[in-house]
Structure 1
Amino acid sequence: MSDSQKVVLQGNHAQGKGLSKLLLKSVPDALRKFDPRYEWHNPVMFVVWVGALLLTVLGVFQSLFPNDASLRGGSSIPISFTWIIAAWLWATVLFANLAEAVAEGRGKAQAAALRNTRTATPAHRVHGYKPESDPDVKITPAIDMESSELQQGDVVVVEEGETIPGDGEIVSGIASVDESAITGESAPVIRESGGDRSAVTGGTTVLSDRIIVRITQKPGESFIEKMIALVEGANRQKTPNEIALNVLLSSLTIIFLVVVLCLNPMASLQHAQVTLTVLIALLVCLIPTTIGALLSAIGIAGMDRMVQHNVLVTSGRAIEAAGDVTTLLLDKTGTITYGNRQASDFHALPGVDHTEMVKAAALSSLSDSTAEGKSIVALAAKEDISLSTLPDATPVPFTAETRMSGLDLPDGRKIRKGAASAVEAWIAQEGGGIAQEAHDALQDRVRAISSEGGTPLVVAERTTDGAIVALGVIQLKDIVKNGLKERFADLRKMGIRTVMVTGDNPLTAKAIAKEAGVDDFIAEAKPEDKLAYIAAEQAKGKLVAMTGDGTNDAPALAQSDVGVAMNSGTSAAKEAGNMVDLDSDPTKLIDIVRIGKQLLITRGALTTFSIANDLAKYFAIIPAMFMSNFPGLGVLNIMGLHSSLSAVLSAIIFNAIIIVALIPLALRGVKYRAEDSEKILSRNLKIYGLGGIIAPFIGIWLIDVFVRMIPGF
């Protein structure tokens, strides 16, 4: 198990039994956040901070001049009341800071593990390297230097057993690379120049061979450094939704401030007076302190959940967009299917001996090193087809250009196996043709296999007398991953439309789309087709998410609202996307959407609870506060609170404690169910709206039972 995996387990444990320990460890960080330059970024909690400061100053004056009744607002109010209220207001600020500190603290252990990979790595920089240089020639001279001194565009040589000094692209060579320090996956991966697997990450280790790498990072902007900043929360910026919610909370704070300021003039009409201590306490009870305290922690926890899933998010906006996504573009190969098509059946044409057809298919696949070719030989072996050694035969290897493989026998026979169009072209090249009846039967079988979602490979032979014979069709099947149909059904319940993107022909694409349960598909897709589809969906007001790993995916990744680039992909893809999947698992896009929705639901649920909470506190304590001056309000004191002072103090204590009680929920997130938005809203209103109304009545009453035991209250 890698360090990063251990850290994830530690973070998950902290959500349970280890949370109390994490709370204690985060207290020093919470205390450092008392700086007013930090507090003013949170308008709601800044009001609480100012209120606590005013009451602390007032308490000092009351202690210095204990006989001045005007400072206390009345001779019957004990001086200790101001000090106790001030203490609980400071505690409220502390608990709000603690919520954010705990959320940030869960990433510090992971950041520490990542820092261990960011050691002073030696680099061998070379001058004068040209791409056409022979990679087998030792490049000299190489200048040894520290990785921190490398600049963007420098070229370095990395030998077997050495650590790659920085993020870059392989310009020459192929090597096995250990990326466990970044991904947590112990299995090595192959990285090579000239393709979509050319990107390498600083801090990973070359296990074999030698590669030449061009550094693509700027100093201080490596992949690991970005990830460290992410998990520590240093680079987290407020998202548009957070900014909008902060504006709403600030507006509510101003409204309640006006309401509280109007209470004293109204009370004066009845020859009553409300002290400054009570006014400040009442204001803090009424403004949305609960969500104000937890808002930042919810956002940090959402990013932390992404990190636990080995997803690097370069923008908090992307997580929110994931929660609002309405269209998912998913590559077929590796996402919906396993990507390794297997031979499932042999179909001999009418008049052709089945055994001879299978034997010819196996012989033509001996030089095919692909997974498909090996599966054909393996399936033939299951039918007890014996392949005798043919030492004088000439193998014809499979290539991407010819899309065929085969065998040329000493007696002049030629056997070919490949895509239907490729075999037809070979037949024409050989100057022959097949009978119309056989051609029609062949086309019927090809269409039938394609319509079932399979891939047809045609087997043909040129006999010793020069005649061309079509022997039959091999059926390859692309296996759809287990459980995807159910997951796509869950997405459909969320109102998300799934679209499969594939280079297959429309018949094959339609069959696989039906088996997988996706809503739509794009067949024979080219990079520009993806880009056009995304733009068309966005023009309809929809948010689109997609995955990609190649340079040709970069435009579509940049265009999409949530672009998830594979860590194994090119630097261009990773720069274009706003998320990087360290595991390079395309199906993780589904989990990313669920995390995004959970973040939005958690924020909405706790906002509902907070606002309902504030309104309930208003109706819970106002009657008790003024029933001595307005006896008619006594009938509204349904909780039977002891006195106005005990009511205010109980409400302030409840207001602080509820923040601590909700920290685990803010970090863990509200449990997400795959339902439509109306059901989710209805359930959350019942649970968190009704709960926010009931909780203050019960909590304040229980606290009042203990507060009334304090002398003077």
Structure 2
Amino acid sequence: MDQVEKQERPVSEFLQKHGELLAAVISGILIAFAFVLKEAAPYLFGAAFLIGGFAKAKEGIEDLVFEKSLNVEILMILAAIGSAIIGYWAEGAILIFIFSLSGALETYTLNKSERDLSALMALQPEEALVIRDHKEIIIPASQLVLGDHVLIKPGERIPTDGRIIKGRSSINEAAITGESIPVEKALQDDVFAGTVNVNGALTVEVTKQSEETLFHKIIELVQSAKSEKSPSQLFIERFEGLYVKSVLAVVGLMLFLPHFILGWSWQETFYRAMVLLVVASPCALVAAIMPATLSAISNGARNGILFKGGLHIEKLGAIKAVAFDKTGTLTTGKPEVTDMLVRNDLEEDTLLTIAASIERHSTHPLGQAIVRCAEKQELSFLPVEEMEDVSGWGVKAEVNGQSYKIGKLSFVNEASAKAFHSGAAETLQAEGKTVVFIEDEKGIAGMIALKDIVRKETVTAIKALKKVGIHTIMITGDNEHTAKAIAKEAGIDEYLSERLPEEKLNTISELKEKYGMVAMVGDGINDAPALASANIGIAMGAGTDAALEASDVVLMKNDLIRISEAIAISQKMKKIVKQNIVFALSVILLLIASNFLQFLSLPLGVIGHEGSTILVILNGLRMLKE
């Protein structure tokens, strides 16, 4: 019994995927035979009607009965039946054939998009080799828990998000970022589920549950994107119902008015009404948007750009300005200590030890850079008490019974800080360095200068955006001098300095008033409100979960060049959709006018109308190309 079920399953899956196309092909073959076998033609045409039109007729009737809505399927079935009533069996059958073929093409687009998602889901291993109680055991990847040690051999896919605790290797992250060039990974580097361990054995500590991995989030994002429709698509769907009712009303009038008003014969009147029923159907218009949108989403996903739906693709093409968070977005987010100045009664090592001991309890990138500097010099950390993190300003703490404040200029005694070492802070800031001040009970104890390195691809990405006329803005909490230096190095048009995390939201509102459609690019928790407030929020894939949730577009590789690529996809899709709509409406109007002037025959009407639908779908499928 199981063997029979296994044999039947591939057949049912094949019919589910390709049944519509198979029915269209059989319908076409029957029509071809009907033209050859004249005597059997009525039966063959009838069979072509039933086989080719069954799926669409079922869809139209279900919508009519359950949704109480009229759609284009009903128009086509009525037109085909009307054609048969007046003796045009061949034309009616051809209408059914081409209509079912265009429907099969739309289904192909949806299936192609689903196949991309299925292929993505298949990349995550179902099992993992885990080390427990000094033994290697194989368990389902879904049963991995935080802290588990997973052994990954060369050539295997990584089953979980984690951190390398043993070994080094090259990792192919194409499934996540779309970038096929392997990335070198060593101790303490993060790895992601679904990526491939190329050449070295690794032991990885699990850092996320299976449903929280980046890979799992990608799949969720792509799935939700498929179901979210753009405003244009929603408008077309609403318009379809009203349009179909209007066509049926006009056709109802066409069945008798031309006979009395224009003197047409009853046969000619009915014939023209049937032609109108065919050519006025909005098939091409209905198919103008969805195939192109789904193709654009699939294209982006293959290249490490995740759109959360057609709405966001449409909006992205209208963006006039892009605002960037600085740290971790325009820069690497891993600043380094470059200079250190101390008060005369202190040593550099003493000051660095105190600062690093305090910052060790902070998660701020500047604080972590100070800690790394102390670790490189092998300094010992001191106990810290009364630690307080003042968001956007700095930290307070006690070390050896003495109170310290570490932070920006306005967090300490501003006058003393500016005068410290003959105003050295201003010189350092002019060089694009961020200056952190350390203040104790005697006053300014010293200052540490750090430089956050601009990403290699930042300059190229900014140039690409400028090339298409997009204004660029940097938003940072850094002071004026540092912000100016970084903006100049990156090629940014405008910078807004000394903006606290809570001020970013108001800043985005101001930019929207000034420029209209604004995108925000960020990666941190403090960027999430601004990402949500912008017309389009773009998150860096390696950013925080909050940023990923709040954004509309996700760049799976932290590559800013992908922004211009995403905009290019959006603009290309909008161009194709516009072409489709103009072409579809033009063909409908031309065919309707030709019918009223009695120039158009039913066969030509069928070919013109259904041919335009197929051309519109094929034009939308161009978005599948790289």
Give the structure-2-normalised TM-score. Answer: 0.64
Picking from 245, 258, 268, the partner of 1:267 is 258
Contact 2:591 2:608 in 1 (8 A): no
**1:556 alignment partner in structure 2:** 530
What is the correspondence of 1:235-634 to structure 2 with a 5 Å cutoff? 235-269=226-260, 270=263, 272-273=265-266, 274=268, 276-332=270-326, 335-336=329-330, 399-400=369-370, 439=422, 442=424, 445-446=427-428, 449-450=430-431, 454-455=432-433, 478=454, 481-484=458-461, 486-492=463-469, 496-514=470-488, 516-537=490-511, 542-623=516-597, 625=598
Alpha-carbon offset, residue 539 of structure 1: 7.4
For residues 330 and 424 of structure 1, the distance between their equivalents in structure 2, rounded to whole angstroms, comes to: 21
Question: Any idea what SS the aligned residue of 1:155 has?
Answer: coil
Q: 2:21 aligns with which of 27, 38, 41?
A: 27
2:613 aligned residue (645, 654, 659): 659
The residue aligned with 1:648 is 602
Give the aligned partner of residue 391 of structure 1: none
- For residues 201 and 550 of structure 2, what CA distance do their matches in structure 1 show? 29
SS at match of 1:117: coil
Q: For residues 105-134 of structure 1, give each alpha carbon's deviation from its aligned partner in whole angstroms, at most 9, with x where no partner exists.
A: 544654454344234213759xxxxxxxxx
Question: Equivalents in 2 of 1:423, 1:654: separation in Å?
Answer: 71
Contact 2:541 2:554 survives alignment (8 Å)? yes
Which segments of 5 or more consecutive residues in structure 2 lack a partner in the other structure?
A: 1-16, 25-51, 340-347, 353-366, 379-404, 437-445
How many angstroms apart in 1 are the aligned matches of 2:322 and 2:613? 37
- SS state of the match for residue 325, structure 1? coil
1:160 equivalent to 2:141? Answer no
Q: Which amino acid aligns with 2:588?
A: D
The corresponding residue for 1:49 is 73
Which residue of structure 1 aligns with residue 381 of structure 2? Answer: none
Distance (Å, rounded) in 1 between the aligned partners of 2:408 and 2:508: 36
CA distance in 2 between counterparts of 1:123 and 1:25 reads: 41
**1:531–1:555 CA contact under 8 A, matched in 2:** yes
Distance 1:517 1:92, change over 3 A: farther
* Matched AA of 2:482: T
Q: Which has the higher helix share?
A: 2
The offset of 1:343, in angstroms, is 12
State the one-letter code of the partner of 2:466: A
The amino acid across from 1:86 in the alignment is G
1:6 aligned partner:
none
Amino acid at match of 1:255: S
* Superposition deviation, residue 404 in structure 1: 8.3
Q: How many residues align?
A: 510
Larger Rg over CA atoms: 1
The answer for unaligned runs of 5 or more in structure 1 is 1-22, 61-70, 73-78, 126-137, 347-360, 366-396, 409-420, 459-469, 626-640, 672-713
- Retained in 2: the 8 A contact 1:121–1:165? no
Checking the alignment, whether the CA contact within 8 Å between 1:191 and 1:200 is kept in structure 2 is no
Identity of aligned residues (%): 20
Q: d(CA) in 1 for partners of 2:91 and 2:212?
A: 52
Q: In the alignment, does 2:193 pair up with 1:201?
A: yes
Which residue does the alignment assign to 2:103?
97
* Residues 546/141 of structure 1: CA separation in 2 closer, same or farther (3 Å cut): farther
Question: Which residue of the partner structure matches residue 47 of structure 2?
Answer: none
Counterpart contact for 1:403–1:422, Cα < 8 Å = no
Q: Deviations over 1:32-55 (max 9, x none)?
A: 993546457799x97553344345
1:147 matched to 2:141? The reply is yes
- How far residue 538 of structure 1 moved from its aligned partner, in angstroms, is 5.7
- CA gap of 1:276–1:85, structure 2 versus 1, over 3 A, is farther
Hey, what does 2:124 align to over in structure 1?
Answer: 118
| Aligned equivalent of 2:93, options 87, 90, 109 | 87
8 Å contact from structure 2 (residues 337, 370) kept in 1: no
Contact 2:320–2:471 under 8 Å retained in 1: yes
Contact 2:295 2:624 in 1 (8 A): no
Q: Is the 8 A contact 1:488 1:517 kept in 2?
A: no
Deviations 1:630-671 (A, max 9, x none): xxxxxxxxxxx5xxxx63321221112223333342222599
Amino acid at match of 2:97: A
Q: Supply the AA of the counterpart residue of 2:109.
A: A
Distance 1:141 1:406 in 2: 36
Q: TM-score, normalised by structure 1?
A: 0.57
Kept in 1, the 8 Å contact 2:150–2:203? The answer is yes
Q: How far apart are the structure 2 equivalents of 1:585 and 1:51?
A: 49
- SS of 2:306's equivalent in the other structure is strand
Q: Does the 8 Å contact 1:326/1:542 carry over to 2?
A: yes
Q: Per the alignment, do residues 443 and 585 of structure 1 end up closer, same or farther by CA in structure 2, a change over 3 Å counting?
A: closer
Question: 1 CA distance for matches of 2:206 and 2:300?
Answer: 32
Deviations 1:395-415 (A, max 9, x none): xx995259789999xxxxxxx
Task: Please give the alpha-carbon distance, in whole angstroms, between the structure 2 residues aligned to 1:29 and 1:518.
Answer: 57
Secondary structure of the 1:160 match is strand
Instruction: Please give the root-mean-square deviation of Cα atoms over the aligned residues, in Å.
Output: 5.5
- The CA distance in 2 between the partners of 1:325 and 1:604, in whole Å, is 18
Question: What secondary structure, in the 3-state scheme, does the structure 1 residue paired with 2:176 have?
Answer: helix
Q: Which residue of 2 aligns with 1:187?
A: 182
Query: How far apart, CA to CA, are the structure 2 residues paired with 1:211 and 1:340?
Result: 23
Q: Which secondary structure state, in structure 2, belongs to the residue aligned with residue 504 of structure 1?
A: coil
